[in-house]
Amino acid sequence: MDDSTDASTKLTRRRFVGTSAALGSIAAAAPLLTEQAEAAVNTEPGTEQAVTLTINGRRQTVPVDNRTSLLDLLRERIHLTGAKKGCNQGACGACTILLDGRRVNSCLTLAVMHEGAEITTIEGLADGDRLHPLQQAFIDHDGFQCGYCTSGQILSGVACIEEGHTGSRAEIREWMSGNICRCGAYTNIVTAIEQTAGGR
Ligand code: FES
Ligand code: FES
């Protein structure tokens, strides 16, 4: 790296990975860092950095502490509380959102890693007053009880359908296994996904 570069912006892959791992914040499902993205992230803990994201079709720039998870940015800074913080460690799927069309656990990835990304949360899934077909199917088939897991289940289900992992109920169960429902609504969740996939 050029010596003239500001020391606070200097970065190596080792430092980045070390810092992120220490924070427990690398998402297994998140895209690998590109060199460009790597160079844009300041890894000095506690540094505030602006990140620009398109969230539910609206482009916004938010200054955040570089240790902020994508989930905390959505919930605490943008006030989109549909994505839930269940475990905050990648075990429950309640925080699932779509990141550039892929489902990710937003609790496990840092907001500043996703400069320029497109994000869809449950708040952006409907088309105005018209629910997404999977949202309607969850209602039709009682795919929820308390509702805490539901936004994550629906976003994950949308991706599951897009990925084509709906060949059988067993396949749906397998590819939805990262989303836990403490109320045990699994049978109806699978039915909702099965019906929606079949209606495409
Ligand atoms: Fe993210 Fe549980 S809150 S996986
Ligand atoms: Fe209650 Fe799934 S509906 S946790």
Domains contained in the chain, CATH given: 46-124 (3.10.20.30), 127-200 (1.10.150.120)
If you measure from the C-alpha of residue 185 to the centroid of ligand 2, how many angstroms do you get, rounded to a whole number?
7
Q: How far apart are CA 157 and CA 178, in angstroms?
A: 11
**What ligand has the least distance to the C-alpha of 144?**
2
Q: Hey, is 147 helix, strand or coil? A: coil
pLDDT > 60? residue 12: no
Position 97: which residue type? Answer: I
For the chain, the residue count is: 200
Q: Show the ligand 1 pocket: residues with CB < 6 angstroms.
A: 85-88, 90-95, 105, 107
Backbone phi and psi for residue 88, each to the nearest 5 degrees, phi listed first: 60, 25
User: Which helix (H) or strand (E) is 65 found in, with range?
Assistant: strand 58-65
Quick check: CB of 22 below 6 Å from ligand 2? no
Quick check: CB of 142 below 6 Å from ligand 2? no
The whole-number pLDDT of residue 27 equals 38
The whole-number pLDDT of residue 40 equals 63
Outline where the chain has alpha helix (H).
13-22, 35-40, 70-72, 133-140, 150-163, 169-175, 186-198
pLDDT digits (tens, 9 = 90+) for 119-148: 999 999 999 999 999 999 999 999 999 999
The whole-number pLDDT of residue 126 equals 97
pLDDT digits (tens, 9 = 90+) for 21-66: 333 333 334 444 444 455 566 778 788 999 999 999 999 999 999 9
Mean pLDDT of the chain: 85
Kindly state the average pLDDT of the residues 13-24: 39
**What ligand has the least distance to the C-alpha of 147?**
2
The whole-number pLDDT of residue 43 equals 74
The whole-number pLDDT of residue 95 equals 98
